[in-house]
Structure 1
Amino acid sequence: MRRSTVLGAVLALLAGVVTSVEARAQTDDGFLWGVATSGYQSEGGAPDSNWRRYEQAHTSSIKDPYADAVDFRHRYAEDIANAKAMGVRVFRFGVEWARIEPTKGVLDQEELAYYDDVVDHVVDAGMRPMITLDHWVYPGWVADQGGWDADATVDDWLANARRVVDRYKGRNAIWITVNEPTVYVQNEIGNGGIEAWQAPWMLSRLVTVHRRAYDLIHRLDPGTMVSSNTAYLPAGVQAGFDATFVDRVRDKLDFLGLDYYYGASLDNLSAVHGAGGEFWRIDPQPDGLYYAMRYYARKFPTLPIYVVENGMPTDNGLPRPDGYTRSDHLRDHVYWLQRAKADGIDVIGYNYWSITDNYEWGSYRPRFGLYTVDALADPALTRRPTDAVATYRSLIADHGVPNGYLPVGPPAVCSVVDGLDSCLFPARYPGPLAPLA
């Protein structure tokens, strides 16, 4: 290597260390308990976008009309206040590109003012905004130019990112660039946004915008934390999915954003119901969260882990036939977070998905909300607390479950969440717990 190349490499390494230290300093005030939502799924009043077009065209994933979602666009103050009352410290939401730039180069000032007020409400409530720049939705004019198959989309996306970051810098935000990139690509294929053979090009462009956005955000908003959350798939297949995105941006992550919903084991193969969208038929496997975190702690030992999404759907809000409640689900997953921390895994935050029920990408039937909302039958869109609201408030106040707690859902028989590793080397159970403080 030439001397200039060596010097450049050293300076880049030092810059990365400084960025990592600054970002990690943001978590020194304790564990980050959070709730999550997203723009299109909750806001209502949907502008022209790829997903609005999918819904209107009744593509294969659409089962229910969008209607007005749960109208977060006009009820955000209530949802943010409900989060504050639980003691939540992070409120995740999306700033929808399609809403603020409905026509290329033309900004909607009213919608920008709406997001200004959302950020103000979150900050005034003593919470940190976790802002998602891309939660699978882009403007209709981007779709018209070819969506993610067009090179122009990269520059357009980054121009929007710069606009949003510059507007909300200095607000102690945590930034998510692209939500679940590999699932994003799968959804675009399933709904006709791209053809399957175009997937490598879309993934490459998502890698490009993340890498460039990471540098952009750290220039505009120094000391913040930046990541892209990944959906964890069980049975040892995650390494293959990581190769398409996470491995290609490893040096541009301040934490590993993990979304965990279901596992697999010799006594639990119910995850197959997810292929048909019947997520409420999947039997939760809380111990799988431990193995998913252990997988990434071993793969990226210097990266802290933030569970950006975790939740349990019910069938239109009905009780599960097995009697397992949302409170059981919350306590059991928090137990495994505490087990992971006791075993030295650097877990810094947890978001419950989601603060309210919402439009689950074509259907209102899966109900994930801490507050349930009957979007199709209740014109008032009333937020009704589930049993888990009080449970989450208690977990946050007490820094987790108490010593001696045993999960309602016991560990699986030969979990294969991380392939044979999770089966052959299971976590000690019961085992020590560490408070999430």
Structure 2
Amino acid sequence: MKTFQVLQLSLIFSIFVNLVQSQYLFPDDFKFGVASSAYQIEGAWNVNGKGMSIWDRITHTTDIVPDNATGDIACDSYHNWERDVEMVKETGVDFYRFSLAWTRIFPDGYISYVNQDGVDYYNNIINKLIENDIEPVITLYHWDLPQMFSPQGGWANPAIIDLFTYYAKKAFEFFGDRVKLWITFNEPKVFCQDFNLFMSAANEVYPSGVIDYMCTYHVLKAHAETYHIYNREFKATQKGRISLTLNFEWSEPGSDSPEDIAAAEQRRQFEFGLYANPIINFDYPKIVKDRIAERSKQQGFPESRLPQFTLAEKLRIRGTYDFLGLNHYSTWHVFAAAERDIAEISYESDMGTFRNQSNEWPTSGSDWNKVVPWGLRRILQWIKKTYRNPIVLITECGYPDQTGTLDDEPRQDFLRDYFNATLEAIHEDQVNVQAFTIWSLMDNLEWQQGYRIKFGLFHVDFEDEARTRTAKKSVAYVRSVVETRKTD
């Protein structure tokens, strides 16, 4: 067949696929939402009794955030919360996912003293959302650990399990009569593996490959205990659901070689299965356990650096989910790699793979945030196959730029592509995905990237003391999708 004819057929097929995609509708019970987190938007870091979190300390005492940016004021949502609810209403979405600042409610982290101003602040948000027919979805922990616990080891200290569950129980008591969807932890891989240098003072003693696994072990146990507390003491009356949210950057084999195919699966298990497998199946993934145990043995450790669950702990953790929260931002090519020097003790060396991103993939305002919508669909397919098709709520997915422009057509294009990938997973793959949450409601402090990248549906003027918010073009697009249930 001639090249021209091949191109013609390819074009016809592409048009056909696009037409088919445009006919897909989101189910009537599919929900849309927008998200934020406390430290990234609230500001008022030491106002009306709020205590210090580790991110207050980090931004005040280190230079890891560009331009010495802090969350001291951020979007000043503490004083602009009513406008925030108005913005959620403008998008037309069904729910607003936000997090509680632990230290706004319990300034030193312990539940012995309640800061009523913090309780009132979150009650006001919840009540106003409900008045506007918007469902509040609360994340209990979005990385802002009370600074009081940092010198004690933070998530590397087993005492944190009880401290977190005490806090969670109080949150259920304060807000659970109106909140029907709870997320215990946002992206534990990030604050255990990626941010382990900043989660506590313990990094001065324990390197990567030790402290991050201790964190993982304690987070999974804290999540399980919180789940059981909610089920035992609150579910019958409050009738809510609870789980955790895991981030998943898709690992695509760098080639069709068996070695690269195995390497991609190995990386998926280290990055996602490390947390999902104990909760949905039973224990850590075998490849993760075996690799860490073998490298630990060769390094002279008397036992694996990955703390092992007892049988009772495995049984306690398994099944502690009412849905699976999924955050997704990008995709990588993964290749098999030579084993690193056995003297190197780290999570990366345990994972034992190499990855990069294709230059052919479109880039957003952040170099690593490649636009690869088929990566989301493959994640959803993989979750269905690996974990027996659980309920999946996409709890974060979004597009960053560097300008915060109101004319944000690339964000609209991104959302259309990722919505379509979700529709394909629903209609063609029968994946049980029931929600899509856009990150983020507004431009905010993006952790180590400061204010240099903008994910928001709403522009925030950080030069204006009032932190004026203005809708970007993508707001109208989101509202149209929610109303029509279709992407075009």
Fold shared by both chains (TM-score > 0.5): yes
What are the ranges of 5 or more consecutive residues in structure 2 without an aligned counterpart?
Answer: 1-26, 46-50, 252-263, 281-318, 335-355
Cα displacement string for residues 208-261 of structure 1 (whole angstroms, at most 9, x for unaligned residues): 110011111223134322111111122232222233211112211111111111
Cα displacement string for residues 326-370 of structure 1 (whole angstroms, at most 9, x for unaligned residues): 111111111111111112111100100010011111301110000
Query: 2:278 is matched by which residue type in structure 1?
Result: R
Residue 269 of structure 1: which of 336, 340, 358 is its match?
358
Match for residue 193 of structure 2?
Answer: 186
Matched, 1:88 2:93: yes
Match for residue 203 of structure 1?
Answer: 216
Q: Secondary structure at the match of 1:176?
A: strand
Match for residue 120 of structure 1?
Answer: 127
Q: How far did 1:52 drift?
A: 0.6
Q: Give the alignment's Cα RMSD to 1 decimal.
A: 2.6
Cα displacement string for residues 94-147 of structure 1 (whole angstroms, at most 9, x for unaligned residues): 111111111232211111111111111111111111100000111121223321
Query: 2:243 is matched by which residue type in structure 1?
Result: S
Residue 468 of structure 2: which of 374, 382, 401 is its match?
382
Instruction: Using the aligned pairs only, state the percent identity.
Output: 26
Matched, 1:248 2:278: yes
TM-score (norm: length of structure 2): 0.71
Q: How far did 1:187 drift?
A: 4.3
Q: How far did 1:72 drift?
A: 1.2
Matched, 1:309 2:396: yes
- Structural mapping, 1:3-402, within 5 Å: 30-46=29-45, 47-61=51-65, 63-66=67-70, 67-103=72-108, 104=110, 105-191=112-198, 193=200, 194-195=202-203, 196=208, 197-219=210-232, 220-222=234-236, 223-235=239-251, 236=264, 237-250=267-280, 251-264=319-332, 269=358, 279=366, 282-317=369-404, 325-343=410-428, 344-362=430-448, 363-375=450-462, 377-402=463-488
Query: 1:221 is matched by which residue type in structure 2?
Result: K
Query: 2:331 is matched by which residue type in structure 1?
Result: G
Does the 8 Å contact 2:191/2:199 carry over to 1? no
Does the 8 Å contact 1:35/1:91 carry over to 2? yes
Q: Secondary structure at the match of 1:228?
A: strand
Cα displacement string for residues 73-107 of structure 1 (whole angstroms, at most 9, x for unaligned residues): 11111111221222211110111111111123221
* Cα separation, partners in 2 of 1:292 and 1:319, compared to 1, 3 Å: farther
- Cα distance between partner residues in 2 of 1:265 and 1:221: 42
**Count, aligned residues:** 370
* Structure 1 segments of 4+ aligned residues over 4 angstroms from their partners: 265-268, 270-274
- Cα distance between partner residues in 1 of 2:414 and 2:132: 27
Does the 8 Å contact 1:264/1:271 carry over to 2? no
Query: 1:291 is matched by which residue type in structure 2?
Result: R
Q: How far did 1:302 drift?
A: 3.9
- Cα distance between partner residues in 2 of 1:63 and 1:221: 45
Q: Greater CA deviation, 311-320 or 383-392?
A: 311-320
Q: How far did 1:39 drift?
A: 0.5
Does the 8 Å contact 2:406/2:472 carry over to 1? no
What are the ranges of 5 or more consecutive residues in structure 1 without an aligned counterpart?
Answer: 1-27, 403-437
* Cα separation, partners in 2 of 1:272 and 1:288, compared to 1, 3 Å: closer
Q: How far did 1:151 drift?
A: 2.2
Does the 8 Å contact 1:37/1:94 carry over to 2? yes
Q: Secondary structure at the match of 2:172?
A: helix
Query: 1:346 is matched by which residue type in structure 2?
Result: N
Q: Greater CA deviation, 159-168 or 262-271?
A: 262-271
- Cα distance between partner residues in 2 of 1:30 and 1:40: 31
- Cα distance between partner residues in 1 of 2:76 and 2:360: 31
